[in-house]
Homo-oligomer: A and B are copies of this chain.
């Protein structure tokens, strides 16, 4: 429910107007003079302020001036409601930064229309359509490309052109050290974006992205992606959250790589893969991943992965048949001791 602060010294007019607004479905907070009105607006952060000009204590111009000065209230739509109908009065009000100027007497429709208009504009400014819509619009705007298994989406040292979105398939992002040893830093599935981190940094990719299976992917050019982010507050929030999640998950992996045994690391890698593929259904989850990729994920040698997997098999935690690994008891894998 939208919150409106109404500042008006005439008791009758204030009560009447408040009633109309309440009937129209707004939450109305009233103040009988400018000073009280400013305090109310600062504390309540309403969605809109309606204010008389001629008032005791602090007049409407003063109210607007004070609210404009405070970053927290500067963006709130402000409507003057006044008997001063002279052109010069109107100009002064607008020049001070009011968003509309209603002269008394006004009828209810005029008032409600004026409010609706300003609320609509304010909403539009913060949020150009809903988040979901924007993402859908964004990704469907650009042509898709098909990548076959093992082909590069982008390579280390290339320059980022934008962000990638996976329509279908699966992509691994990996880095290699000087000796050519590879570590998979992330695996992305259908419906996810990747390449954001490198985009926001200056300079070329430090990561390579390779399709793990046949994948359909589109590229959203830098400009469009950035303007979409900044145009949409909800998208900004979401992206912040995802990035902080990325930081956290990498920190967790750091901790594991530093002090956990290979056995434990492989167990966790499997558990994570199982979770990503099958959810927490409790059912056995089949995972298809090469021993090599698994070793790159756990940061170990392929042979060690193989030995550890056969241990897990002997212990009844997983089943093996070729490249397919079936996870029977994800919980036990999570809680693996060294």
Contact = CB atoms under 8 A, between A and B. Distances in A.
B207 A251 contact: yes
B94 A100 contact: yes
Given A97-B120, A241-B201, A71 B231 contact: yes
Lowest 9 CB-CB distances: which A-B pairs, in order? A258-B299, A71-B128, A200-B244, A250-B250, A257-B257, A181-B259, A197-B244, A243-B243, A95-B113
13 contacts: A68-B124, A71-B134, A75-B125, A91-B114, A175-B251, A177-B255, A177-B260, A179-B259, A201-B244, A207-B251, A247-B250, A258-B299, A258-B300
A177 B257 CA distance: 11
Nearest to A99: B99
Interface string A313-329: 00000000000000000
A227 B75 contact: no
Nearest to A335: B178
A244 B230 CA distance: 16
* Copies of this protein, total: 2
A206 B97 contact: no
Given A94-B117, A175-B255, A201-B248, 15 more contacts: A87-B103, A91-B110, A177-B255, A177-B259, A181-B258, A183-B254, A197-B244, A197-B247, A200-B244, A201-B244, A206-B248, A230-B236, A243-B247, A246-B247, A254-B257
A74 interface: yes
Nearest to A295: B258
A253 B255 contact: no
A256 interface: yes
Contacts of A227: 72
Contact of A129 (B71, B75, B110, B197): B71
Contacts of A201: 241, 244-245, 248
A72 B128 CA distance: 9
Interface string A164-191: 0000000000011101010101000000
B95 A117 contact: yes
Contact of A74 (B95, B128, B196): B128
A306 interface: no
Interface of A: 68, 71-72, 74-75, 87, 91, 94-97, 99-101, 103, 110, 113-114, 117, 120-121, 124-125, 128-129, 134, 175-177, 179, 181, 183, 185, 196-201, 206-207, 227, 229-231, 233, 236, 239-241, 243-248, 250-260, 299-300, 338
Contacts of A254: 183, 185, 250, 253-254, 257, 299
Given A124-B74, A251-B185, A299 B259 contact: yes
A163 to B, nearest CB: 12
A260 to B, nearest CB: 7
Given A71-B231, A257-B299, A259-B177, A125 B128 contact: no
Contact of A251 (B241, B250, B255, B259): B250
